[in-house]
């Protein structure tokens, strides 16, 4: 078994065993800055009615409502542009217009832009060998085995290297580990999607420029394009991750789509060589190993000439040159590649003939445009109700207005009297949990950011000015989260020095035994994931059930190879559990993803008052 597989398996067992904190082999230090929503977007796109650029508002309305009605897409942001004008933008509550969002693998396409700039300046070529570039890391054996891997192979995901995303969990020295890894196949013979290829491209940029790729792109792309609120994580080696870890605003992501739509030009300046752009968006791999084609860190699309910057869970910049149109999405769906329900809906609208291919203007349609604006407004204020969307349809049919990003109190958030009485009783109570290795940070985010939980030891409650606060005691930190019952309220949580904005929406009901139940959806606004916490109150005890969105489907799919590897490599499991070993391990993983934890009252309002007396 490969070293990286063993690292993933060890991490998996550490999580199952209840170990918390620094369980990774990778050194952690906080990196992510807080997003500043008060910084305006420079060089923002003009806004326009769809008809003014030749698109029927009804077409846009139908596209947006079809996506909003999906049961599992969990859409966060939607932006549609034509002729360099935004004709529709909507953020789905509690997500907010103008916030940045994780891009996941969508940023690979931006890594390809950096490589294109270097190639255009003759500082690099497609046929340069990776071992020559990193000759200070390569020994004779490495050079012999990897001598055929080129920059082209990294760009097209055909390197054959058996050091994939899981390598990010195996230690601090990713370049060395990549070069020392085995080969799964002859370079260039197969397509095998591997984020560490993108990491090596980023490392090449650093080798050639003496700067991190993030700093290089700030100078060459981001600053000239007015992209100011952007952040890209680095590895323990100080290398920009390249294949993941980028936070960017949807409108700034649209700028990068426009850059390639215009052949690498922005405001008349050639930022990326046009020849590189044209080659990047073509299929560069033939039909090897996947029905989808792949360019230079870009996915060519089904519509002639179209292409996509794609990231898992629904992060997309889709470009349609013949329509002069760009669509940007952020979401939290359970899909790894661009083949989920949202992508199928978009394909049904934009990968076929639309009827406005050659139309640049049509008469205004106030009624149709008014309906589109109303739909976007309802999505943003949380009043849109999607009966199919269990994950994302919590905020529904509520009055507009109310609490903004700073949680100014409005009377509409005052709870029903029965809730009010219960919250008064609940205020000041603290419960100690029987197990304390489950965190507020979703497991997916802990893994992506190498930021593992200390575990929630206690849960407490405060009820102040008709606002309920839930307190999660996690390590040395108390996460104080405001709960909204008609609209989400916003808070900031501290995960080992990195601050994340969360929007929290609550539901309050009774279970079949007439016990009070508080259900919280804690959406990490800058991310694709949310934490679900359901608390059952039974006299002096509680039971806490936890889950995350996207959860079981995504995590179990990602761990498929690890589960198989554990079973195949662990003699004890095979001998003691036989054919049931895989089921036992899967059940244990599911219990970690969706735990049920008991809790006991350790402090109440009455006790506090007695102590004060």
pLDDT of residue 402: 35
Q: Name the range with the highest mean pLDDT among 22-31, 409-418, 460-469, 585-594.
A: 460-469
Contact 548, 529 (CB under 8 A): yes
Calculate ∠ Cα 557-94-380, nearest 5°: 120
User: For 360-391, how does the pLDDT look when each residue is reduced to its tens digit (9 = 90+)?
Assistant: 999 999 999 999 999 999 999 998 876 665 44
pLDDT of residue 567: 44
Q: What average pLDDT score do residues 79-101 get?
A: 97
Q: What average pLDDT score do residues 115-134 get?
A: 97
3-state secondary structure (DSSP) of residue 473: strand
User: For 156-174, how does the pLDDT look when each residue is reduced to its tens digit (9 = 90+)?
Assistant: 999 999 888 877 777 899 9
Q: What burial class does residue 210 get, using C-beta atoms within 10 Å of its C-beta: 0-12 exposed, 13-18 middle, 19+ buried?
A: exposed
Find the farthest-apart pair of alpha carbons in the chain and give their distance in angstroms, rounded: 79
Residue 573 has pLDDT above 60, yes or no: no
pLDDT of residue 22: 59
pLDDT of residue 214: 98
Residue 14 has pLDDT above 90, yes or no: no
Q: What average pLDDT score do residues 458-462 get?
A: 97
Residue 118 neighbours by CB distance under 10 Å: 20
Q: What average pLDDT score do residues 586-610 get?
A: 76
Residue 183 has pLDDT above 70, yes or no: yes
Residue 191 neighbours by CB distance under 10 Å: 20
Residue 332 has pLDDT above 90, yes or no: yes
User: Comparing C-alpha atoms, which of 561, 594, 523 is closest to residue 192?
Assistant: 561
Give the whole-angstrom CA distance, residue 204 versus residue 114: 10
Strands 85-91 and 46-47 come out as parallel
Contact 189, 161 (CB under 8 A): no
Q: What average pLDDT score do residues 7-15 get?
A: 65
Residues 6+ apart with CB under 8 A from 327: 78, 79, 80, 81, 316, 317, 318, 320, 346, 350
Residue 204 has pLDDT above 90, yes or no: yes
How would residue 418 be classed by pLDDT, with cut points 50, 70 and 90?
confident
Of residues 436 and 235, more confidence is placed in 235
Q: What average pLDDT score do residues 543-562 get?
A: 75
Q: What average pLDDT score do residues 185-198 get?
A: 94
Residues 6+ apart with CB under 8 A from 215: none
User: For 283-313, how does the pLDDT look when each residue is reduced to its tens digit (9 = 90+)?
Assistant: 999 766 555 799 999 999 999 999 999 999 9
User: Comparing C-alpha atoms, which of 35, 5, 27 is closest to residue 449?
Assistant: 27
pLDDT of residue 198: 98
Residue 560 has pLDDT above 60, yes or no: no
Give the whole-angstrom CA distance, residue 592 versus residue 435: 11
Residue 609 has pLDDT above 50, yes or no: no
Residue 431 has pLDDT above 70, yes or no: yes
The full DSSP string for 133-172 is HTTTT--HHHHHHHTT-BHHHHHTT---BS--GGGGGS-S
Q: Which domains does the chain have, with CATH numbers?
A: 100-300 (3.40.710.10), 411-556+593-612 (2.40.128.20)
3-state secondary structure (DSSP) of residue 372: helix
pLDDT of residue 579: 56
From residue 377, give the alpha-carbon distance in Å to each of 117, 136, 340, 385: 40, 56, 26, 12
Task: Give the pTM.
Answer: 0.90
How would residue 497 be classed by pLDDT, with cut points 50, 70 and 90?
very high
User: For 130-156, how does the pLDDT look when each residue is reduced to its tens digit (9 = 90+)?
Assistant: 999 998 876 656 666 778 999 999 999
Residue 2 has pLDDT above 80, yes or no: no
Q: CA Rg, the chain, in Å?
A: 25
User: For 253-263, how does the pLDDT look when each residue is reduced to its tens digit (9 = 90+)?
Assistant: 999 999 999 99
* Token pair in block for residue 390: 């269990």
Q: Over the chain, what is the mean pLDDT?
A: 87
- Kindly tell me the number of DSSP H helices and DSSP E strands found in the chain: 20, 22
């Amino acid at each position: 078994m490969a070293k990286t597989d063993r690292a993933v398996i060890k991490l998996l067992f550490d999580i199952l065993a209840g170990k918390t904190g620094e369980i990774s082999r990778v050194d952690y230090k906080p990196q992510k800055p807080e997003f500043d929503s008060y910084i305006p977007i420079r060089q923002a796109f003009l806004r326009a009615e769809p008809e003014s650029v030749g698109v029927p508002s009804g077409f846009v309305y139908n596209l947006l409502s079809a996506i909003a009605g999906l049961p599992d897409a969990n859409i966060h942001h939607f932006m549609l542009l034509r002729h360099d004008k935004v004709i529709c933008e909507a953020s789905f509550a509690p997500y907010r217009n103008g916030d940045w969002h994780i891009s996941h693998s969508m940023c690979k396409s931006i890594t390809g832009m950096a490589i294109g700039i270097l190639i255009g300046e003759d500082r690099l070529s497609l046929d340069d060998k990776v071992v020559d570039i990193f000759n200070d890391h390569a020994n004779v054996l490495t050079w012999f085995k990897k001598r055929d891997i080129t920059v082209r192979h990294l760009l097209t995901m055909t390197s054959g290297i058996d050091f994939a995303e899981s390598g990010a969990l195996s230690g601090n020295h990713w370049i060395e580990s990549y070069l020392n890894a085995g080969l799964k196949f002859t370079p260039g013979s197969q397509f095998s999607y591997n984020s560490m290829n993108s990491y090596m491209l980023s490392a090449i940029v650093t080798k050639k420029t003496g700067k991190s790729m993030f700093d290089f792109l700030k100078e060459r792309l981001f600053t000239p394009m007015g992209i100011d609120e952007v952040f890209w994580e680095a590895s323990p080696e100080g290398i920009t991750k390249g294949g993941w870890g980028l936070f960017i605003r949807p409108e700034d992501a649209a700028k990068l789509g426009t850059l390639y739509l215009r052949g690498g030009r922005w405001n008349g300046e050639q930022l990326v060589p046009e020849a590189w752009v044209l080659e990047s968006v073509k299929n560069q791999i033939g039909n090897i190993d996947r029905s989808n084609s792949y360019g230079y860190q870009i996915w060519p699309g089904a519509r002639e000439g179209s292409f996509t910057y794609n990231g898992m869970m629904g992060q997309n910049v889709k470009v349609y040159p013949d329509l002069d149109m760009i669509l940007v999405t952020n979401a939290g769906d359970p899909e790894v590649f661009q083949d989920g329900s949202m992508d199928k809906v978009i394909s049904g609208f934009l990968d076929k003939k639309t009827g406005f291919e050659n139309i640049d203007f049509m008469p205004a349609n106030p009624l149709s445009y008014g309906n589109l604006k109303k739909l976007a407004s309802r999505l943003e204020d949380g009043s849109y109700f999607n009966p199919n969307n269990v994950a994302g349809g919590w905020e529904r049919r509520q009055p507009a207005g109310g609490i903004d990003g700073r949680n100014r109190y409005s009377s509409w958030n005052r709870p029903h009297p029965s809730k009010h009485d219960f919250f008064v009783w609940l205020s000041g109570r603290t419960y100690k949990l029987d197990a304390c290795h489950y965190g507020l940070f979703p497991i997916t985010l802990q893994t992506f950011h190498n930021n593992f939980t200390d575990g929630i030891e206690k849960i407490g409650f405060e009820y102040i000015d008709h606002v309920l606060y839930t307190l999660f005691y996690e390590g040395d930190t108390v996460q104080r989260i405001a709960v909204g019952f008609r609209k989400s309220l916003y808070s900031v949580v501290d995960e080992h020095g990195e601050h994340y904005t969360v929007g929290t929406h609550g539901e309050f009901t009774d279970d079949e035994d007439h016990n009070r139940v508080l259900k919280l959806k804690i959406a990490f606004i800058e991310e694709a994931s949310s934490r679900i916490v359901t608390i059952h109150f039974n006299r002096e005890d509680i039971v806490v059930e936890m889950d995350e969105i996207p959860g079981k489907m995504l995590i179990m799919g990602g761990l498929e190879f690890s589960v198989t590897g554990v079973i195949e490599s662990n003699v004890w499991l095979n001998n003691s559990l036989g054919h049931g070993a895989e089921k036992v391990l899967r059940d244990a993983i599911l219990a970690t993803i969706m735990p049920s934890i008991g809790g006991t009252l350790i402090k109440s309002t009455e006790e506090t008052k007695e102590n004060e007396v």
